């Protein structure tokens, strides 16, 4: 086969279809609703032994936890989402890392690892409150439900952390 025939056979196949982008998330349950966390920031799951409260901390900050010799800030995901707080000892903690700092997110329960397709991404539902919308990167359709992907940048960003006294 000479060169022009090779070129013609390559172009005659038509446009190549690329696979939809896949996103891997770790799912957590908060007040019966399932949310996704970017898998690359999740470190471990644990139950808190002791939580040291921090005076004058924002409402969503539960306190500080010693996790394997590292002090991490514990955040109540219920409060962050505008829900009533539960006793932290009843919660599971999901240790995450953001900008080199450790955090523990108090959740009601944990799910599993899920793979989402960019093809299943849907537009943000209009009924979501502005505060919840700011904490959501995207929403995906999964089987018979939807799963909001939490925006770690907004949830744990510097503007949301307490200022040292």
Per-residue pLDDT at 129:
80
What SS3 class is residue 47?
A: coil
Per-residue pLDDT at 13:
53
Per-residue pLDDT at 109:
95
Per-residue pLDDT at 133:
85
Model confidence pLDDT, tens digit, residues 137-150: 999 998 888 899 99
Tokens of 45: 């799951």
Per-residue pLDDT at 140:
93
Tokens of 75: 């955040």
Residues of the chain with pLDDT under 70: 1-20, 158-165
| C-beta of residue 103 within 8 angstroms of C-beta of residue 75 | yes
Per-residue pLDDT at 16:
58
Q: Which domains does the chain have, with CATH numbers?
A: 22-160 (2.40.50.180)
Per-residue pLDDT at 124:
86
Per-residue pLDDT at 53:
92
Model confidence pLDDT, tens digit, residues 58-82: 988 999 999 999 999 999 999 998 8
| C-beta of residue 104 within 8 angstroms of C-beta of residue 89 | no
What is the spatial distance between Cα 55 and Cα 35, in angstroms, rounded to a whole number?
29
* 19-34 b/e (C-beta count within 10 Å ≥ 16 → b): eeeebebbbbebeeeb
Per-residue pLDDT at 158:
53
Residue with tokens 């299943």: 120
Q: Beta strands of 51-135 (E only): which ranges?
A: 61-67, 70-76, 92-98, 101-107, 109-117, 121-122
């Amino acid at each position: 086969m000479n060169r022009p025939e090779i070129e013609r056979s390559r172009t005659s196949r038509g446009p190549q279809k690329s696979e939809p982008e896949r996103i891997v998330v770790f799912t957590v349950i908060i007040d019966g609703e399932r949310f996704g966390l970017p898998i690359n920031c999740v470190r471990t799951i644990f139950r808190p032994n002791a939580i040291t409260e921090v005076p004058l901390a924002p409402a969503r900050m539960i306190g500080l936890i010693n996790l394997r010799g590292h002090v991490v800030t514990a955040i109540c995901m219920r409060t962050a989402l505008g829900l009533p707080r539960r006793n932290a000892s009843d919660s599971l903690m999901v240790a995450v890392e953001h900008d080199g700092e450790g955090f523990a997110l108090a959740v009601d329960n944990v799910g599993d690892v899920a793979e989402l397709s960019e093809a299943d991404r849907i537009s943000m539902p209009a009924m979501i409150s502005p505060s919840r919308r700011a904490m959501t990167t995207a929403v995906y359709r999964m089987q018979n439900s939807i799963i909001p992907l939490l925006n770690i940048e907004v949830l744990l960003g510097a503007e949301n952390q307490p200022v040292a006294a």
